[in-house]
Amino acid sequence: MLKRIRVRGKLLLLIAAPIAAVLVFATTGVVDRRDNSDFQDREARIADFADAGSDLSLAVQVQRVRGLAADAGAVVDLEESTAVLAGAVDGWLQAAESVKGDITDPDLVTDIDDLTTSLGDLRAGADAMSPDTVTAAVALASRRVALITPQLVDQSQDLELFRALSEHLRISQIQQAVGEITVQGAAAIESRSISPVIATPLNSADADIIAASDQFLTTADASYAAMLEQLIADGLLPTAIGDSVRDVEFVIDGGQPVDVALAEWLATGEEKLVGVNSVSDALLE
């Protein structure tokens, strides 16, 4: 057959296969790059959603701390924290809408949909509610967000993001415990006594922070571990069970007026919360 084909035709036959191969590989490369880009976008949306949950949690905690400080007579910027809380709700709603198509667990999708509806309704009717009512409702929603966020770890298909989400979860546990210490300590300072009802959750929060910190420092990259180590070195996190009880006793025994002592304790609590959250933000950048 080749004998009957002219020279030009033979040359075309000889180069046709390599050209076809090049075209196939080029097309495959374009598809692979597109698939890789889609994969990276998906992982980025999951990371953004987890980060939005952390921001909402922080905003709720700061609003609660500032509310307690205002009740104690301290001068705090409640207007700012209220605006930040509203922005955090909007941020979570936007991130939830973006990520829903990336979630493969139908039960998790249902939970996100339900919470999106609740927060959306709350956001729409907030103007007709008192600030305390809004804060309480968002705080309840934030606890539901805290139950959703750990499930995102199983949605990640990238090892690096899987590690980041796992470490983010530990930082979230620390942040929740710091908030508990701040609120329980404020109650003790206001009553000038530490009852077992307060000492028990303080010690439990210490244990949670120590356990989560140990796990984080074992697995996290050096740069992130250094951020948490700095918070510990600055005395912002407990290193032994009972540290928080001793911190509260020190404030009570300091002899300051209750309103002054309470305002300082709550301001320090907010500083701790923001410091811990900065580690979470760095993890998911």
HSE (CB half, 13 Å, CA atoms) of 196?
0
pTM, rounded to two decimals: 0.80
| Residue appearing with tokens 């992130």 | 224
Q: What's the pLDDT band for 16 if we cut at 50, 70, 90?
A: low
Q: What φ, ψ does residue 95 adopt, rounded to 5°?
A: -65, -40
Task: Using alpha carbons, list the distances in angstroms from residue 250 to 69, 74, 245, 253.
Answer: 19, 20, 9, 5
Asked whether residue 18 carries a pLDDT value surpassing 80, the answer given is no
Arithmetic mean of pLDDT, 200-222? 96
Asked whether residue 117 carries a pLDDT value surpassing 60, the answer given is yes
Asked whether residue 1 carries a pLDDT value surpassing 50, the answer given is no
CB atoms within 10 A of CB 176: 21
SS (H, E, C) 78-142: HHHHHHHHHHHHHHHHHHHHHHHHHCCCHHHHHHHHHHHHHHHHHHHHHHHCCHHHHHHHHHHHH
- Give dist(CA 166, CA 30) in Å, integer: 33
Collapse the DSSP code of 242 into the 3-class scheme (helix H, G, I; strand E, B; otherwise coil) and give the result.
coil
CB atoms within 10 A of CB 254: 11
Nearest to 240 by CA among 214, 220, 219, 264: 214
Higher pLDDT, 29 or 257: 257
Arithmetic mean of pLDDT, 224-229? 96
Arithmetic mean of pLDDT, 247-265? 92
Higher pLDDT, 247 or 122: 247
Asked whether residue 234 carries a pLDDT value surpassing 70, the answer given is yes
Which residues have CB under 8 Å from 10's CB, separation 6+? Answer: 2
Asked whether residue 126 carries a pLDDT value surpassing 80, the answer given is no
| Residue appearing with tokens 């410091």 | 275
**Would you say 158 and 39 are in contact if contact means Cβ atoms under 8 Å apart?**
yes
Please write the tens of the pLDDT for every residue from 151-162: 888 887 777 888
Collapse the DSSP code of 262 into the 3-class scheme (helix H, G, I; strand E, B; otherwise coil) and give the result.
helix
- Give dist(CA 185, CA 192) in Å, integer: 10
Q: Mean pLDDT of all residues in the chain?
A: 84
